[in-house]
Amino acid sequence: MARNSRNKEDLNLRHVVDAQFEEAAALLKEPRGLLEQIKQCDSILQVNFPVKFGNGISYFSGWRAEHSHHRKPLKGGIRFNPHVTQDEVVALAALMTYKCAIVDVPFGGSKGGVVIDVRQYKEADLQRITRRYTSELISKNFLGPGVNVPAPDMGTGEREMAWIFDTYDTFFPGGIDNLACVTGKPVSQGGIRGRKEATGRGVHFGIRQAFRHTKDIQALGLDPGLAGKTVSIQGFGNVGFHCSRFLWEEGCKIVAIGEHDGTIHNPDGFNIVKLAKYRKSHGTILGFPGSKTLLDPQAALTIKCDILIPAALENQITLANVDRVRAKIVAEAANGPVTPAAEKKLLRRGVYIIPDIFLNSGGVTVSYFEWSKNLAHIRYGRMERQLESVRGDRLVNYLESARGRAIPQKDREMLIHGADEEDLVNSGLEETMVNAYEEIRSTFKRRKKVSSLRCAAYITAIQKICTSYRALGIFP
């Protein structure tokens, strides 16, 4: 059991997820056997495999956890990180099960990980490692369009997903649905537009929906709407960058951003596009013009702001620093960034926490769209976009004739624009996040003894999974 020796706090993510599950389960009148079936991980594969580099051979360890088979296939990312453990992979697989249920995506939860520091290897070496890990999953039937469908996670991206697909395609040549064996692929290899931004965009949609509830937001001493709200973000990777960009475009002031080498702060806010260009050219966000540099990577967690977004790793807000958190809303873009003990302190202080199992589910939602696209073998919007454009053009011409004057060109282009694949993906993602937030908020407001939005989210997930098992005839 991993513990913080100073505060005697359990930081094992698997224990945390199980404790959060039990808090919600205690409020439900479900058979204990059914609850145990949902809680426990169905299976875990551990692999140890060699890879040859030049004249030497290196050995690597990895896992793939299948948490729940109540829906198939199973879904979950693959993490390349030197600190990956079996417990972490199992916990993340469980979170995937609950996320999929909350956003009504018909998958069971899974997760994979390989113990590796990707910064220590060349691209060619990473490709060998990824392909060998993939072959291990295939040989144990832990990968396939109808079995288990991975996606990117920490340390992996479109490149690795393309390698996984190609390896699977080599094992099963001519398989008509092979593209659906993995999501998060490049668009040129069956990926879907909007997938790279999906988790960050989902965070933006979730936060924006919370700010549409006037009474909830006013109770925090804030005005409805995102314009002018101050935001501090820990993590400027894929999720952190995209959610900060979307919030900035909506009028938020991004006043602080923390990365592994330090934190930058500017009370007037950052131009996120310029900051991204600066990082690309300098290899760091530190030293960005107009910012104050703080060498503490965790400083972003304690800077005064309206919205704090932990978008890095688990166990970032703990008993060691929770008393220094000065945000009114904590929006969990990462998995498990707030420990249970720290959460209790924040809730007692009136801090509103938007939980990870809802807020960062944008990635799996759009992965579902990509998987569906691969099975359908047709790009979204291909059949209807031109028809929509023609109808829009006719409508605009009619309006101009009726008004007796032309519609400005910018407005005309917007009105006649037919929805393309990315438009449809973003629309579907927003609809999903809005509906899911309203559902868990309703549970939070309606049910007695529900202490937090997180507990409400777990209740929502557990009830849906119970319904699935009963429909299968496994439980009465």
**Which residues are within 8 A (CB) of 75 and not within 5 positions of it... i.e. 6 or more apart?**
96, 100, 105, 107, 108, 109, 110, 148, 149, 151, 183, 364, 367, 368, 371
Is the bond into 73 cis (omega within 30 degrees of 0)?
Answer: yes
443 burial (CB, 10 Å; 0-12 / 13-18 / 19+) is buried
Instruction: List for the chain the helix, strand, coil content (%; round to 5).
Output: 45, 15, 35
The pair phi, psi for residue 294, each rounded to 5°, is: -115, 125
The pair phi, psi for residue 232, each rounded to 5°, is: -120, 135
Is the bond into 355 cis (omega within 30 degrees of 0)?
Answer: no
Q: Which residue has the tokens 């319904």?
A: 467
Catalytically annotated residue among 8, 52, 75, 111? 111
**409 and 367 in contact (C-beta within 8 Å)?**
no
Does the annotation count 111 as an active-site position? yes
Task: Output DSSP code: residue 324.
Answer: G
Q: From 342, 261, 249, select the one nearest 297 (Cα to Cα).
A: 261
The pair phi, psi for residue 413, each rounded to 5°, is: -60, -40
Q: From 9, 2, 23, select the one nearest 449 (Cα to Cα).
A: 23
Structure tokens of 248? Answer: 């900035």
Could you tell me where the DSSP H helices lie in 283-339?
Answer: none
Cα–Cα dist 75/277, whole Å? 33
- Catalytic residues, by residue number, are 111
